Amino acid sequence: MALYSDKVMDHFRNPRNVGVIEDADGVGEVGNAKCGDIMKIYLKIQDDRIVDAKFETFGCGSAIASSSMATELIKGKPVSDALALTNQAVVEALDGLPTHKIHCSVLAEEAIKLALKDYYERNGIEYDKSQFPCCESCDHCSH
Amino acid sequence: MSIYVDNGATTKLSSKALSAMLPFFQEEYGNPSSLHSVGQRANEALTDARTRIAKVLNCDPKEIIFTSGGSEADNQAIRSAAMLGARKGKKHIISTAFEHHAVLHTLDKLKKQGYEITLLDVHEHGLVTAEQVRKAIREDTCLVTVMYANNEIGTIQPIEEIGAVCREKGVLFHTDAVQAVGHLKVDVQEQNIDMLSLSAHKFHGPKGIGVLYARKGILLEPLIEGGAQERGRRAGTENIPAIVGMAAALEEAVDGIEEKQLKLKGLRQKLIAGLSKIPHSVLNGDQNQRLPGNVHFCFEGIEGESLLLLLDDKGICASSGSACTSGSLDPSHVLLAIGRPHEIAHGSLRLSLSDENTEEEVDYIIEAVTDVVAYLRSISPVWRDLQAGIQDYIIK
């Protein structure tokens, strides 16, 4: 069996939504170069809807594919849907990830949540703090 | 199209080795321990292979033990020396920080059993000195084990000098020569080597077979108990086809070794020169004291696995030495040992050439790596921060 599913390889080879949104309404960055993955997600939000999402990723094949898939899954969706996106949904949409690569999908979920938190804070919108990752530390490796 | 530049991982079996092996599957399939003529012919082939390998290494055939490969040979050499040491109350072993895991993990286990391990610093260029070894040797040192050439960054250690220091001090010297045999000169007499590990598939021989050379008088502890094969030092019916293939491959590898080294060094230097033009890239390991076919780089702002996968799409089979591919998230202990920070160690690439590679392939590789690194940097937030001056470059 190959290391990655065809879906992962497709999103890795032809990542969707790569780039930067200069006038983003929310930006979230997670990970740590020491651990070998950094993900940065940019969101454009209008009328409580994700009208655009872009990403930049430093990381392995599954990190790039997870960012690509996660941005695809939230584009055009209400903010509440983006907030509810789980890493499991990203894994399923990619037809699975190897066990030691699951943390890449967790990074994608966390990056989106951080971007939404940034959006709420910029706009003074009340939000439930318990729904967000507490910090930007990397728990996935020993550094 | 496929360009194979991962010869440090394994090599293609040579045609000579293959044809030497073939008769031993269906024609001469006997067990060398059998008394009948079919068995005895297999035994003759075994003796012949042992003699030919001993000749290349410049030792006595009785000093050759066939093993399943380099890892087993490393394990047996170190454990045997440790047991011999313990009998004299000597439980200190000297090695280096960037050995293969077959050595390091064996040493870890011995540490748990009460041995003291000193791992020598390999410095920025990935080299140890005989002087470091001399200073580290104590009254209770029972073994020095230093690899001949590093498997990731290819640096060649001064084993002859290290061996001389060990002789002078009366300490056993083992070298893991898995990456060196068939590529560099090996002469266990001249190089003062007491024990040496080698693996056939690194020099165009078959997989699953190797040798532990142990100088006469060194009592080896069997890792596998059973029959009296290998004079009681390694039980199990001998893998005759593989042993015969290994002997053929070794002779072929050392035949004209100097011309092959020259050719490989030419390709290597061309690759190094080409890849050095990529901004914020760095060669790992000493520029000259390295295996003729080894090129190893770090590129700032990218991660090694993505690089490998995209190179594979372009038909280039390489490796990173980076964690991701091996299922661990920690970067290479070799790169950390030469002082590369984690951020840089993740973006590594090893290209290990064989004499089948060509100048045209090298040109293509330089172009492909340059393009893929540029692309991955274009989608990397780390690279954006470096370019914007938000972070400082580690590789200037």
Q: How does the average pLDDT of chain A come out, rounded?
A: 91
Contacts of B387 in chain A (CB under 8 A): none
Instruction: Using an 8 Å CB-CB cutoff, list chain B residues near A143.
Output: 330, 342
pLDDT in tens, B181-191: 999 999 999 99
In chain A, residues with a C-beta closer than 8 Å to the C-beta of B386 are none
* Predicted local distance difference test score (pLDDT) of residue A130: 79
pLDDT in tens, A15-51: 999 999 999 999 999 998 888 899 999 999 999 999 9
β-strands B172-176, B195-199: how paired? Answer: parallel
DSSP B85-152: HHHTT--EEEEETT--HHHHHHHHHHHHTT-EEEEEP-TTTT---HHHHHHH--TTEEEEE--SB-TT
Which among A11, A21, A60 is the top mutation candidate for probing chain B, defined by the most B β-carbons within 10 Å of its own β-carbon? Answer: A60
How do residues B160-169 score in pLDDT, each as one tens digit?
A: 999 999 999 9
Q: Smallest CA–CA separation between B283 and chain A, in Å?
A: 20
Q: What pLDDT is stored for residue B63 in this prediction?
A: 98
The answer for residues whose C-beta is within 8 angstroms of residue A47's C-beta and 6 or more apart is none
Q: Is A12 on the interface with B (CB under 8 A)?
A: yes
Per-residue pLDDT band for B288 (boundaries 50, 70, 90) equals: very high
Q: pLDDT tens for residues A128-137? A: 887 776 554 4
Instruction: Find the closest chain B residue to A138 by CA distance.
Output: B329
By the CB < 8 Å criterion, does A68 face chain B? no
**What is the spatial distance between Cα B294 and Cα B138, in angstroms, rounded to a whole number?**
35
In the prediction, which pLDDT does A128 show? 82
| Residue B315 reports pLDDT greater than 60 | yes
What is the average pLDDT across A94-112? 95
Selection from B110, B94, B102, B111 nearest residue B157 by Cα: B94
Provide the ipTM: 0.91
Mutate to test the interface with A, among B300, B302, B306, B310 (most CBs of A within 10 A): B306
B142 given a catalytic annotation: no
Go through the domains of chain A in sequence order and give each one's CATH number.
6-131 (3.90.1010.10)
Instruction: Report phi then psi at B31, rounded to 5.
Output: -90, 125
Residue B98: the pLDDT is 96
